[in-house]
Chain A
Amino acid sequence: MVVPCSGIGKTYGTVSREAAYEVTEDLRPGATGLVALSLLVLGDEDARAAVRAHPAVTIDGCKLACAAKMVQESGGQVAQGIAVLDVYRRNRELKPQGIAELNQGGQQLAHAVAAEITAIVDDLVSREEASDHA
């Protein structure tokens, strides 16, 4: 399960959600699902069940790390958490700007975040397959 930051009105929140959409809709649609952080905050049972049943990859836009915290508070396990700021620090040329519409740097940063999540997802899937064979 991919759980992005819900930082509505915040550039880094938009980057995290765009990355989540890219992974769940385009890059690994069969292997991943998206859980809206707001549903976890509201205590939605389906959302809580989803993060309890599957390893979660969280994407956080700031140090508050709401996505990672809410997954844990919902009884789920964070397989790996990604901070958009850390990805930006590794890719300084991709300065994100904009909220409703990201600038080119923001779009490319979202791609970079999505690529990191995809690698994590592939690793999780291969480990699951290996344990199924064992």
Chain B
Amino acid sequence: MNIVVCVKQVPDTWSERTLRAADSALDRDAADAIINELDEYAIEEGLQLAEAHGGEVTILSMGPQRASESIRKALSMGADKAIHLVDDALAGSDAIQTSAALAAVLQRAGFDLVILGSESTDARMGVLAAMLSERLGVPQLSFAGKVETDGKSISIHRQTDYGYDTVEASLPAIVSVVEKINEPRYPSFKGIMAAKKKPVETLSLADAGIDPSSVGLAAAGSEVVGFEKAPPRQAGTVVTDDGDGGAKAAGFLAERKFI
């Protein structure tokens, strides 16, 4: 099975994230960069499926030069090779354009199964799997908490508000995973050494056959009019329980008219 895992490099959620004043884009230099946490689960699922059914796992990442660190980490977990789409013209792309660019590369590379995280920690849109499915005309199996395949058809548990749905489709297909699905492995020392020699194909927009005017800030379908730091929360009252903490809390709720 030919499995492609889409991996995004994101600013670490623990470091402070800011927007650049000049263009309201994420200031990626200001924060530490890591693999989007959910994408590690996507990689793990890809590796497990390849181990069970044979085949190769390719990492696909669109992002600046610096994303190559995240790609190496994905390779050190055990993926076989990688494609890195990098081009200055991609800067400021939103989900719609990102999906167009990734779809073009996926079409060119070919796949039986594409696996994504269900959401990135920076954009938090959770729309990429749906958009790729729309663009590539293959089934959308998103928010998967469980994946089963026999190499021809695929079945998942799609997590919902009320529990889950069982969803079935035939391959090729797009899957996105939630963090309940598995426990991502840590790269072993051997894995880290091996990753250094694994092939990473670097593509520009021209290499991938993508029209530069279709991506980037200029082609975005929405524009940021302004942004501001949310006003800090007013410091609250903290009391220590001396046997009356519950009663005091009730007093607060009454004062605020919740009870």
A, B co-complexed:
no
Interface, chain B (partner A; CB < 8 A)? none
Interface, chain A (partner B; CB < 8 A)? none
